[in-house]
Amino acid sequence: MAKTANNKTGKDTGKSAKGGTIALNRRARHDYHLEDRFEAGLALQGWELKSIRAGRANITEAYANIRNGEIHLLGAQFTPLISASTHVVAEERRARKLLLHRSEIDTLIGRVQRDGYTVVPTALYWKGNKVKIEVVLAKGKQTHDKRETNKERDWAREKQRVMRRHNKNA
């Protein structure tokens, strides 16, 4: 993939507008049991797209909500640029409509209302020249579940250390 020059000097900044991750929600893995993944488009305004290109997107506190048979992203923060148009009143955390197929919307609505799931965004990324968001059906973890996950991760790390030492000595 070719890298693009994104600054006035023409030097390569390493960020490409054609592909790659914009923002991740790493906290979601810690707080939820993640199950089914869906790829959705986002209904954005022009200033929001400019903000995303500048790397000013944050989805760590975001979640999806159901309104009138549609799914909206709430809590995502797109900080407006200073150079953006001044006549637009920018709402950093406004509700943004998620663009999904009707069958996917029905699946999400059914699982949320019937089975007690929540819809959490995990990644915001470029697909071609469009912004996509990965949303996941998730169930909240209890405190003891989080402790168990930490114990398993620590034990796996310790096993790797022991195996590395054992293989080094052999």
Domain ranges of the chain: 19-141
CATH number for the segment(s) 19-141: 2.40.280.10
Residue 83 predicted with pLDDT over 80: no
For the chain, give the mean pLDDT: 81
Q: How far is CA 89 from the centre of its chain?
A: 25
Do the Cβ atoms of 143 and 69 come closer than 8 Å?
no
pLDDT of residue 1: 37
pTM (predicted TM-score): 0.68
Residue 41 has a pLDDT of 93
Q: What would the mean pLDDT of 98-102 be, rounded to a whole number?
A: 93
